[in-house]
Structure 1
């Protein structure tokens, strides 16, 4: 098989079943540009996109049909960097590098709109009704959060940190819903501890819940006031508690609810490391783009970008000191990384990058 211009896909009803298909590099039509996907990452966040592919419409960003696949297959979105290799759009210049939401494939055809020095928005018809933040591509030349030596950190952690940053802002914006304790499930997960780093010292007591094997690592992060193995949920106490569920595990949610009773002020599902989540049992599913839209209205785009960049530059050195980055090459390495993350074989202190 010629894998020069390939696409990786997973079976929507069995995420462990995968395929690689080859194709031709398309020429851009009028108003289009072709991005060559260069470097991407895989984390539990990408599994979440697949688990919630139907409910949150993640499967719709990169339809399988144009790549010769039937609808039983899906392209789980990844984050990373891509370079413009062909363009018929003024301002979107060949050789320019962009960060954004990408297919697990060799290329992406976009229809750039709202082009400026910061980047562009993909105005492709099939993405028009999808959440706007995922359609934005940031130019490395115009991004205040970008640093060349932090590309791998940005690939692995920036999408997660965006969720963490907006979650911390959402909770503070709502006075923590009256809670004096914030309890995090899957506390060793990157989205969870990034949120905890943003929230640490801002009022509520932070308690991390994690598996016994991850207790030592989670404590070493220094962002939780206490870390408990899941079996010790009863040690949470009786103070008004907000449960931030990053796992979606039904049994854990039931244990937290049974123990806290009326002391549980809110149950918010955030990330989902469990592949059969019970999101419907939560009070709400946090969706970062909703809070982002509010803050763009409150603060304006430039101020939101400034605050995010400031927070990211605080977080990145802390994360770099605790993260081991493993780099693979090519589509087969992408498949291997997908299966490892899906099966839970990647330790919380490890990040998987694929150079394509």
Structure 2
């Protein structure tokens, strides 16, 4: 086997993949080398690829250093990596970090703003990209980290951060004056984590999901009611805020037709079925915007502590809702990618790949 490898997908056909072998990168001054160790595959990663051009996700891990042409993209993953070499003071071999990683064996970073919490990658090609994705958190001193929760953190932490910030923004805006909050794609991890945060705090929570996922979603206990998409017409006609995580135009149209002016807010949160929904929604939720607000309100440490407390509450129960399916190596990574892309992972399943 080569020293390292890279898995890439065709930007115009995400089911077409390639595996490229290569040599372990040689470091320049100011750089560190991470060995990618453990990553998760969820619908969130498919979203990054679907929106790769529009939201610049392809630019985080460009293919040119790895011998790939412009037709290929590296879908970003979340997971853990180990520093195996460093020319930067404070970033030491053996340090374990959590962050945004390529589907590859290694990643070269240019650490700056190094402190006890980790560092930021200041590589030139990432300078104008959204800054939250450039942070690498050291497991030492991370209030949300526990070694026995690594699989949960890999699968849920970025999703839960979105969910935590979404719930916080909804509450911060007094629930938009709604009596009912409707979440689509209610069986998805991002949706039910937000529902977990919101349940019992304000309006009635209604989950919308496909007929086959209704029973699973009901067992979660974080919605006051769960309906299939075909039952939108049975929703109570009261002031309602729609948090759309599905991006399906038909569902939005049915909701608008049924509720009329009682639909007081229509927020696009993301997508799980690969149909961009931002253009037709009333507004788009972007977690880093609310994060910046709360950093100003609470300070960095205050935000970290509130997130850690919310995460530990969620982690205490989510293990009962999840079956972890683990793989190893690039072949299993490819299969996991194709399964998630094709919608072949049941809502109870979480895909982990160890490198």
> How far did 1:70 drift?
1.2
Alpha-carbon distance between aligned partners in 1 of 2:259 and 2:36, rounded to the nearest angstrom:
47
Alpha-carbon distance between aligned partners in 2 of 1:309 and 1:14, rounded to the nearest angstrom:
38
Is 1:145 the counterpart of 2:144? The answer is yes
> How far did 1:278 drift?
3.0
Is 1:47 the counterpart of 2:46? The answer is yes
Alpha-carbon distance between aligned partners in 2 of 1:67 and 1:283, rounded to the nearest angstrom:
40
**Which residue of the partner structure matches residue 126 of structure 2?**
127
**Which residue of the partner structure matches residue 269 of structure 2?**
270
Give the secondary structure class of the aligned counterpart of 2:30: coil
CA-to-aligned-CA distance 1:53-87 (integer Å, 9 cap, x gap) = 11111111111111111111111000000000110
Give structure 1 stretches of 5+ with no counterpart: none
Give the secondary structure class of the aligned counterpart of 2:321: coil
TM-score normalised by L of structure 2: 0.99
> How far did 1:157 drift?
0.5
Moved over 3 A (4+): none
Give the secondary structure class of the aligned counterpart of 2:241: strand
Give the secondary structure class of the aligned counterpart of 2:279: helix
**Which residue of the partner structure matches residue 22 of structure 1?**
21
Alpha-carbon distance between aligned partners in 2 of 1:136 and 1:272, rounded to the nearest angstrom:
24
**Which residue of the partner structure matches residue 306 of structure 2?**
307
Alpha-carbon distance between aligned partners in 2 of 1:73 and 1:131, rounded to the nearest angstrom:
21
Is 1:249 the counterpart of 2:248? The answer is yes
Give structure 2 stretches of 5+ with no counterpart: none
Give the secondary structure class of the aligned counterpart of 1:141: coil
Structure 1 residues 115 and 179, CA gap change in structure 2 (3 angstroms)? same
**Which residue of the partner structure matches residue 161 of structure 1?**
160
| Within-5 A mapping of 1:215-230 | 215-230=214-229
Is 1:291 the counterpart of 2:290? The answer is yes
Mapped contact 1:3–1:21 kept (Cα < 8 A): no
TM-score normalised by L of structure 1: 0.98
> How far did 1:271 drift?
2.4
Alpha-carbon distance between aligned partners in 1 of 2:329 and 2:83, rounded to the nearest angstrom:
19
Give the secondary structure class of the aligned counterpart of 2:227: strand
> How far did 1:29 drift?
0.6
> How far did 1:186 drift?
0.6
Mapped contact 1:191–1:271 kept (Cα < 8 A): no
Worse overlay, 28-37 or 173-182: 173-182
**Which residue of the partner structure matches residue 330 of structure 1?**
329
**Which residue of the partner structure matches residue 60 of structure 1?**
59
Mapped contact 1:119–1:142 kept (Cα < 8 A): no
CA-to-aligned-CA distance 1:18-70 (integer Å, 9 cap, x gap) = 11101111121100000000000000010111111111111111111111111
Worse overlay, 259-268 or 91-100: 259-268
